[in-house]
Amino acid sequence: MLNLILLQAEGAAQQGNQWSFWIMMILIFVVFYFFMIRPQTKKQKELQKQREAMKKGDKVVTAGGIYGEIKEVQDTTFIITIAKDVTIKVSKDSVFADAADAQPAAEQK
């Protein structure tokens, strides 16, 4: 009789541990989502809007650190003038900042 009671108590304890495990996993996922995933997607959307708003004549910096001025806007690329009679074609994804935004960061160094 005592063995039966102990076995039932042990099964109930294991079920409680199982629930607490799942609750902790869900809490970890929620914290991970709100502190890491959500801010990153928000930042990416903002950057994409900024890239879509760029137009001819804007000064930009590429991901490779090349400063230039947009000469032409195409569907997925920009034609950028980097010097007199020197143009390059770059993906919109590689243009990450306005030159005006990058300038103060460069001056702080």
Residues 64, 48 share a domain:
no
In the chain, the amino acid numbered 108 is: Q
61 contact partners, CB below 8 Å, separation of at least 6: 67, 68, 95, 96, 97, 98, 99, 102
For 68, 73, 81, the CA distances from 56, given in Å and listed in that order, are 11, 7, 11
pTM of the complete model: 0.58
> Bigger pLDDT: 80 or 9?
80
Tell me: pLDDT of 14 over 90. no
From 53, 75, 96, the end of a domain falls on 53
Select from 53, 71, 89 the last residue of a domain: 53
Q: What is the mean pLDDT of residues 19-39?
A: 90
Which is higher by pLDDT, 6 or 17? 17
pLDDT interval class at 99 (50, 70, 90): low
Domain count, the chain: 2
Q: What angle do CA 99, 49, 89 make, to 5 degrees?
A: 55
Query: Model confidence at 52, in pLDDT bands (50, 70, 90)?
Result: confident
Instruction: Say which residues have a Cβ less than 8 Å from residue 92's Cβ, sequence separation at least 6.
Output: 51, 76, 77, 78
Which structural domain, as residue segments, surrounds residue 15?
A: 1-53
pLDDT band at residue 48 using 50, 70 and 90 as cut-offs: confident
Cβ pair 60, 54 in contact under 8 A: yes
Per-residue pLDDT averaged across 5-33, rounded? 75
